[in-house]
Amino acid sequence: MYGRSIMLGVAGSLFIASIASANFDSFTWSLSNNALAGSGLFTNPGSYAVGSAAAVGGSGTLTSTTMTVVGGNASVRGVTWYSTTATTAGTISVNWSFSNTPGGDTSGWDAGGWVLNGNFTVLALNSQSPTSGVLTFGVNAGDTFGFGTGTADGTFGASTTVFTNFVPAPGAIGLLALAGLAGSRRRR
pLDDT at 178: 41
Mean model confidence pLDDT for the chain: 82
In this prediction, residue 163 carries a pLDDT of: 97
Query: Interhelix angle for 172-187 vs 2-20, to 10°?
Result: 160
Report pLDDT for 157. 85
* Residue 59 pLDDT grade (very low, low, confident, very high; cuts 50, 70, 90): very high
* Whole-number pLDDT of residue 105: 66
Q: Using alpha carbons only, what angle is made at residue 42 by residues 127 and 74, rounded to the nearest 5 degrees?
A: 85
With a CB cutoff of 8 Å and minimum separation 6, the contacts of 72 are: 33, 56, 57, 58, 78, 80, 151, 154, 158
pLDDT-based confidence at 156, cuts 50/70/90? confident
pTM value is 0.79
| Residue 183 confidence (pLDDT) | 46
Indicate whether 11 pLDDT > 90.
Answer: no
- Our measurement of the distance from residue 158's CA atom to the centroid of its chain's CA atoms, rounded to an integer in Å, reads 19
CA 106, CA 174: separation in Å to the nearest integer? 45
Judge whether residue 45 has pLDDT over 80. yes
* pLDDT top residue among 47 and 129: 47
Residue spans of the domains in the chain: they are 1-22+170-188, 23-168
pLDDT at position 75 over 50:
yes
Helical (H) or strand (E) element with 32: strand 30-36
Spell out a b/e string for 27-36, using b for 16 or more CB atoms within 10 Å of the CB, else e: bebebbbbbb
The hierarchical CATH code for the domain 23-168 is: 2.60.120
Instruction: Pick the more confident residue, 129 or 95.
Output: 95
CA distance 73 to 158: 5
Find the range with the poorest average confidence among 35-44, 84-93, 104-113.
Answer: 104-113
Stronger pLDDT, 188 or 128, i.e. the higher one: 128
